Amino acid sequence: MTEEQKKPRKAAAKRKAGPRKPKAEAMDKGTPGDEAMKQAVLAAALPHAAFDGFTDAVLEKAAAEADVSKADLARLFEGGPLSLVEYYSRQADAQMEKTLAGMDLKAMKVRERIGAAVMARLAALKPDKEAARRGAAFLSLPMHAALGTRLAWRTVDAMWRAVGDTSTDFNFYTKRGILTGVYGATAMRWFNDDSEDEAPTRAFLAARIENVMQFEKFKAKAKDALSSFPMFADWKKK
């Protein structure tokens, strides 16, 4: 048989064999397939977490419902329920950023931008509010405090960046520290707000932001007043 006669048979054999399997490196951790599994597990876990909290049992039940193997579950959520709560927080941050990206923030005052950012974050949690409440309680436990602090910082940092903050000096830290307190207090008020329009939460948030603005005005006046004294002259520069 000539080479020309062999080529059609080779081509037919390839078609019959079907598509090749993905290479091993395409199945590594961090691939879109992993992300889809993590989202499926989270979606299955939140209804259960609303009643039972974030536990190993809830995580395993969610994995079974999402058709995720135990081996994949252990790989995707290495820290167990703690990793699930962390992933939930990051997903809420991403949804908040998406919401803010669709708003005309440049037309707003700074206080309005911050108010919008806080409410956008709470809106991301609203579909599973009770689960979010259980997650907040979970992170408030002493053994989870370190992660809770990191996640809160990440959230308020995402808020400031989304509303256009470009500070790199000491204000970078003070802004985020203050907003952590504002967001945390507002979230606690929101968890106990059963109103449809969330007016009590919005009023509470507006009052907290006003408190911060008044403090900033006081601080600015204090710097101006003290700058006339040599011993305080350098303080105004901070």
Model confidence at 85, pLDDT cuts 50, 70, 90, reads very high
Task: Give the C-alpha distances (Å, rounded to integers) separating 10 from 3, 4, 13, 28.
Answer: 11, 11, 5, 32
Q: What is the pLDDT of residue 104?
A: 95
The pLDDT tens digits of the residues spanning 165-215 come to: 888 888 888 889 999 999 999 999 999 999 999 999 999 999 999 988 774
Q: Which DSSP category does 227 fall into? A: T
How many Å apart are CA 73 and CA 78, to the nearest integer?
A: 8
Give 88-105 pLDDT, tens digit per residue.
999 999 999 999 999 999
- pLDDT for the residue 2: 52
Contact 167, 179 (CB under 8 A): no
Rounded CA separation 34/73 (Å): 10
Does 44 score more than 50 pLDDT? Answer: yes
Long-range contacts of 59-64 (CB under 8 A, 24+ apart): 59/84
Contacts of 41 (CB under 8 A, 6+ apart): 59, 62, 63, 66, 68, 73, 76, 77, 84
The structural domains of the chain, ordered by start, are 33-226 (1.10.357.10)
Q: Quick one: pLDDT band at residue 217, thresholds 50, 70, 90?
A: low
How many C-alpha atoms does 10 have within 13 Å on its Cβ side? 6
HEC string of 78-103 equals: CCCHHHHHHHHHHHHHHHHHHHHHCC
Angle between helices 110-125 and 81-101 (to 10 degrees): 130
Distance of CA 69 to the CA centre of its chain: 26
Distance in angstroms (rounded) separating the CA atoms of residues 204 and 209: 9
If you average pLDDT over residues 117-123, what whole number do you get? 98
Other beta carbons within 10 angstroms of residue 172's beta carbon come to 14
